[in-house]
Amino acid sequence: MRISKMNKMGVTLVMALGLIAGTATAISGASASTAKYVGPTSLPISAFTSNFSVLKTLTGLEKAGAGKIAAILPDTVSSTRYVEFDAPDITKALETAGMPKSKFVVQNALGSDTTELTDAETDITNGATVLLMDGLDSGVGAEIEGYARVHGVAVIDYDRISLGGSRTYYVSFNNVTVGTLIGKGFVSCVGAWHVAKPNVVVLHGAATDNNATLFAQGYDAVIDPYFASHKWTLVARTADTWDPPTALSGFEAAYTAHPTINSAVIPNDENAAPIITYLKAHGIKPDTFPTTGQDATLTGLDNVLSGYQCGTVYKPIYLEAGAAVALAMYLRAGEKPPSNLVNGKVNDTVEHVAVPSILMNPEWVTSKNMNATIIKDNFVPAKQLCAAPYTADCVAAGIKP
């Protein structure tokens, strides 16, 4: 965990002074406006679509609120989703909700704690009253949230919760469910691909990412009984990482030491991709070596179609982006969000508090339901998905290129 630049006593003193100074400015930043907003009293997750049309009902919040909204995404390595989906979806959602471009910013910390902290500080200096933040790790996340609190700025944890932080809300998919889907998908695939004696290597995401812990909680609960009963053999658990080359190195070492490995539980498509390339180079045939993933990346989906990945967890990012933007608009205007928008709670295991949350359910996608999910939502266009050499695989899956 990242160590704060200020000692504990200094943080306490600065926060106390900031809270006193901030009494004239509500945490939402709405005190600068006297406009009254009367909006929908119901806003369920089911109302959000990929065109964000429901956010047009919230345009009055822009006039009722004050200040800017700043969104900070973590990196471009752990998943392509942040560039391909989150950034454009958050931007489109904010614009649809009536926010002019001059009143919001969407950034990426590019894998640097220092950059993420600096971005947050700069955004607040430039008038942000709400931060929508996906912390690289809980250390920098908590530090940013402490700084924001001192300056009367609300924070929404986006996708990852910052343990030990002081955010107002958390927005994400149900991450234990994500892991459960990976585990159940793996079990189903082992049977469908007729792996008689599974010798399994299990990978884990970065130890600094609480989501990785929740994913593992989900899939371990499914697969551990198979190891305990000796139906399967747990050959190895590799190093914790979201860096694909590091994940590949860990897998290579395990596979070299234990060439009987014939299946792998992998927590995302990005880490699975180089491992699958490695397996292909070693003569592994389709539908014989089960692997898993999440995020429904183009590469991951093509690996599913071609029989090298059992499936991928599909998380419609537009749901997460739309719900987070709606929540940010309410906070900026000093309004309480509808009760059916904030639909759950997630424990901050460091602060021992239940954080009000918006939680969405993901879906396990295979070649059998890809057409009814990924293609239907235009998450990945069929033309892109089915480009050579995957055209025949698409046709076999009922997807028209």
Closest CA to 128 of 328, 321, 338: 328
Beta bridge partners of 133: 72, 157
Report if residue 356 sits inside a domain: yes
Phi–psi pair at 259, nearest 5 degrees: -65, -5
Mean predicted confidence (pLDDT) in 293-304:
97
Q: Which residue has the tokens 């014989």?
A: 288
If asked whether residues 108 and 147 sit together in one domain, one would say yes
Q: How far apart are CA 244 and CA 77, in angstroms?
A: 8
Report if residue 144 sits inside a domain: yes
Q: What is the pLDDT, as a whole number, of residue 79? A: 87
Report if residue 14 sits inside a domain: no
Mean predicted confidence (pLDDT) in 301-317:
98
Token couple for 166 = 């002081």
> Does pLDDT of 312 surpass 80?
yes
> Does pLDDT of 4 surpass 80?
no
Q: What is the pLDDT, as a whole number, of residue 33? A: 44
| Confidence bin at 18 (pLDDT 50/70/90) | very low
**CATH code, 249:** 3.40.50.2300
Q: What is the pLDDT, as a whole number, of residue 47? A: 95
Mean predicted confidence (pLDDT) in 124-130:
98
> Does pLDDT of 301 surpass 80?
yes
* CA dist list (Å): 112 to 108, 117, 140: 9, 9, 10
Q: Which residue has the tokens 């719900």?
A: 323
Mean predicted confidence (pLDDT) in 320-347:
96
Mean predicted confidence (pLDDT) in 324-352:
95
If asked whether residues 74 and 134 sit together in one domain, one would say yes
Report if residue 230 sits inside a domain: yes
Q: How far apart are the first and last CA of the chain?
A: 46
| Confidence bin at 239 (pLDDT 50/70/90) | confident
Q: What is the pLDDT, as a whole number, of residue 5? A: 40
Q: How far apart are CA 267 and CA 274, in angstroms?
A: 13
> Does pLDDT of 14 surpass 80?
no
If asked whether residues 303 and 329 sit together in one domain, one would say no
Q: Is residue 37 within 8 Å of residue 335, measured between CB atoms? A: yes
> Does pLDDT of 221 surpass 70?
yes
Output b/e per residue, 260-292; b: 16+ Cβ within 10 A: ebbbbbbbbbbbbbbbbeebeeeeeeeeebbbb
Q: Is residue 28 within 8 Å of residue 68, measured between CB atoms? A: no
> Does pLDDT of 167 surpass 70?
yes
Burial of 351 (C-beta count, 10 Å sphere; 0-12/13-18/19+): middle
The answer for residues whose C-beta is within 8 angstroms of residue 351's C-beta and 6 or more apart is: 163, 164, 165, 166
Average pLDDT, rounded, for the chain: 91
Phi–psi pair at 36, nearest 5 degrees: -105, 130
| Confidence bin at 7 (pLDDT 50/70/90) | very low
If asked whether residues 155 and 92 sit together in one domain, one would say yes
If asked whether residues 354 and 368 sit together in one domain, one would say no
If asked whether residues 47 and 147 sit together in one domain, one would say yes
Report if residue 24 sits inside a domain: no
Q: What is the pLDDT, as a whole number, of residue 20? A: 37
Report if residue 90 sits inside a domain: yes
Mean predicted confidence (pLDDT) in 35-57:
85
Q: What is the pLDDT, as a whole number, of residue 360? A: 95
Q: Is residue 165 within 8 Å of residue 2, measured between CB atoms? A: no
Q: What is the pLDDT of residues 344-397, one digit of tens each?
A: 999 999 999 999 999 999 999 999 999 999 999 989 999 999 999 999 999 999
Coil, helix or strand at residue 365: strand
If asked whether residues 373 and 255 sit together in one domain, one would say yes
> Does pLDDT of 68 surpass 60?
yes
If asked whether residues 125 and 219 sit together in one domain, one would say no
Q: How far apart are CA 371 and CA 203, in angstroms?
A: 29
> Does pLDDT of 21 surpass 60?
no
If asked whether residues 143 and 253 sit together in one domain, one would say no
Q: How far apart are CA 168 and CA 328, in angstroms?
A: 10
Report if residue 190 sits inside a domain: yes
Mean predicted confidence (pLDDT) in 155-178:
97
If asked whether residues 129 and 213 sit together in one domain, one would say no
- pTM, two decimal places: 0.87
Task: Name, of 17-26, 73-82, 172-181, the range with top average pLDDT.
Answer: 172-181
Report if residue 8 sits inside a domain: no
| Confidence bin at 401 (pLDDT 50/70/90) | confident
Q: How far apart are CA 343 and CA 358, in angstroms?
A: 5
> Does pLDDT of 279 surpass 50?
yes
If asked whether residues 322 and 245 sit together in one domain, one would say no
Quick one: DSSP state of residue 5? S
Burial of 41 (C-beta count, 10 Å sphere; 0-12/13-18/19+): exposed
Coil, helix or strand at residue 107: strand
If asked whether residues 216 and 355 sit together in one domain, one would say no
| Confidence bin at 22 (pLDDT 50/70/90) | very low
Percentage of the chain beyond pLDDT 70 is: 90
Total count of domains within the chain:
2
Segments forming the whole domain that contains residue 60? 33-173+318-360
